[in-house]
Chain A
Amino acid sequence: MTDSLTESRQLLSGDDAVALAALHAGTTLGVGYPGTPSTEILETFDRLGGRAQWSPNEKTALEVGIGVAFAGARSLVTMKHVGLNVAADPLFTATYTDVDGGLVIVSADDPGMASSQNEQDNRRYARAAGIPMLEPVDSQQAYDFTWLGFELSERWKIPVMLRLTTRVCHSLTPVQPRAPIPPKAVKFRRDVPARVMIPAYAKPAHHRLRTKLAEIAAWNEAEGPMETEMGSKTLGIISTGISAMHAREAAPEASHFTFGLTYPLPITRIREFAQQFERVLVVEEGDPVLVEELRTAGIPVEGKTERFRFGELDVARVHRIVTGDDSEEPAQPKGKPPELCPGCSHRNVFHALRELDCIVAGDIGCYTLGVLPPFSAMDTCVCMGASITTGLGLRHALPEVQARRVVSVIGDSTFVHSGLTGLAEMAYNPPETGHLVMILDNETTAMTGQQEHPGTGRSLNHERADRMDFEAVGRALGIAYVELIDESAKNVDLKARIADCLARNETALMIVRQPCVLAAPKIRLYEKAADQQCAAAPAG
């Protein structure tokens, strides 16, 4: 990919297509938290000249995005599917408010769990929160639907969700861009009843939301993005997103109906299509969301069997769904599993924890690989930040001898994302045996490809920013014992230091710091560039 990204027809990933569209559509701010497969959106947006920033987590990102939209400007908020859980609190109220500027929220779902802890289907969130959802089938639609998302958002003053899936995010397909427009000039407009969700204002706001959704549904029926390909009169297939592409290839003889605005549904148009066939099949990845909704609406459709609820669909699996073949599927070839990099500082930590026979409450990041051999040193992993609080729960409940072996390990980016409140919980409700939290600080968000965060001292584009001081944070939150261990220093007896903390009856925070081996050369370059910039700047 080159900087000619803004010119003519080109081959783009779905992520890059969203970034390009956001740029072309005059987005004032792109904000999010890195998460595979969504990460590249903001990185590309920044590289193309858009203003982008990483937030500490998805909730804060969405709230910033809501503020931008309240100001009347367009904002793009990006996250992976599980990130939407973190952002769910503001999401459910954001739909009640009237956003002036367009607000497009990207949820990048990961069916098949290429790198995630679950395969939740975020189409459920659209229905639960009452947010219109667009689902592109390829990069061209990812580009077009980003524009459309902003347009619908502004027309109805409602946030719009763009649901991508891994195969849309990371597949390259051709994109024809359109003429860019500049960001709008904005100024604050007071509108208390539409933005302050106390019950007195929220009650009418909920009615307004349902009215908006009804209007959007009517628009979807009349002019929403949808495509019909007529073939056989016996089989009609209804599909959305990447499933539509698999379905067209797996059953070229069938008739196909695909629609892009997948919530609220264009139910009349679907009914009209369905009425023409003896057999109507819904092909959808993940949960049977669509099939259930169509049946509820009285449209007799056939869905897939339970086995196809798991993992990604592909042409072969869709062919099985079409032919009603529910037999055992061939086993997927097992590749070489990932592992902690040679020279990774986390290796020493997991060796020490293993040798001390610790009960390790783990977290989300590449250090989760500490669960695999040769370390086999992780006992729990639930969601971002859960290491600290799950570890505390274990300490509260286990007999003392075992409780003393419990250690929480969390990465630096994850600590900022969701560990801070866990640390406050530890200071506030300390277990009798105390507890040890280890921040494995490799000075980057390594798992998703070395993104910055508030603890690195650099912003999304790697320029200098204020740096969160984990030691000071620990002390300020009231942790009894705080220690920074520089792993690169010689003669660090990590095992002895951990054993020491486990013997205390107090809360302890140990920060084990050494830059990620993959990120270290880049970090040196960023630091050098920042130093030169400082030296070149005039004094005062």
Chain B
Amino acid sequence: MHSTTNIVIAGLGGQGIITASDILAEAAFRAGFDVKKSELHGMSQRGGSVTSDVRFGERVLSPMVPAGQADVLLVLEPSQVEINRPLMRADGVLLTTDVIPPDALKNKKSLNVAMLGALSSVLEIAETHWLAAVHAHLAEKLHRLNDEAFALGRRASASMPG
């Protein structure tokens, strides 16, 4: 049964993991999918590891991505790659911050949105839904900065080899 797309976003507290997964879930929701998003926060607010699961498709049941079933593992902090690797499918896609050219971002805080740009090039969700979701979750004064970050990530990922 592979009608459900499973994404895990991982990193450390303060990196915008939760916001990124909110935006992804919203984009999938706007695209008309059934969506479930799950996260754990609390202690993780203090700089600890954070992961968030987003699942979308025709009908989603459990809100948590089963181990070994993540189609994409998106990691914002290198130290978090190995501990989350078991969540990926054997043929899953690993997206790390290596896709973003060094110093290309105007503001490092928009790294999470840039990574969503990279993710957007491997998912079947129209760009308009992505941008609407970004705008719905960030303050208006940050829209332009994040639009640019999203576009940067989308371009960078599309030009990736393989």
Chain A interfacial positions (CB closer than 8 Å to B)? 1-2, 10-11, 36-37, 114-115, 138, 166-167, 170-174, 242, 245-246, 248-249, 252, 314-316, 330, 333-341, 366, 369, 447-449
Contact = CB atoms under 8 A, between A and B. Distances in A.
A35 to B, nearest CB: 10
B40 interface: yes
A246 B47 contact: no
A336 B49 contact: yes
Contacts of A1: 22, 136-137
B25 A172 contact: yes
Nearest to B61: A249
B12 interface: yes
B63 interface: yes
B123 interface: no
A449 B29 contact: no
B121 to A, nearest CB: 23
Interface of B: 1, 12-13, 22, 25-26, 29, 34-49, 51, 60-64, 66-67, 79-80, 83-84, 86, 136-137
Contacts of B1: 252
Judged by DSSP, the binding face of A is loop
B44 A173 contact: no
A174 B63 contact: no
Contacts of B36: 138, 171-173
Contacts of B63: 138, 167, 171, 173, 242, 245
Given A138-B36, A172-B36, A315-B62, A333 B86 contact: yes
Given A173-B36, A330-B86, A333-B86, A36 B42 contact: yes
Contacts of A115: 41-43
Nearest to B84: A333
Contacts of B37: 11, 171-173
Q: Is the interface of B mostly helix, strand, loop or mixed?
A: mixed
Nearest to A35: B42
A172 B63 CA distance: 8
A400 to B, nearest CB: 37
Contact of B46 (A11, A138, A334, A341): A341
26 contacts: A1-B22, A1-B136, A1-B137, A11-B26, A37-B42, A114-B41, A114-B42, A115-B42, A138-B63, A167-B38, A171-B37, A173-B37, A173-B60, A174-B34, A246-B64, A314-B66, A315-B64, A315-B66, A330-B67, A330-B86, A333-B84, A335-B48, A337-B48, A338-B48, A341-B47, A448-B42
Given A11-B26, A248-B61, A338-B46, A170 B66 contact: no
A174 B46 CA distance: 29
A339 B43 CA distance: 9
Contacts of B39: 170-171
A199 B60 CA distance: 52
A114 B13 CA distance: 14
Nearest to B63: A171
B35 A173 contact: yes
B48 A339 contact: yes
Contacts of B29: 10-11, 174
A336 B77 CA distance: 11
B40 A166 contact: yes
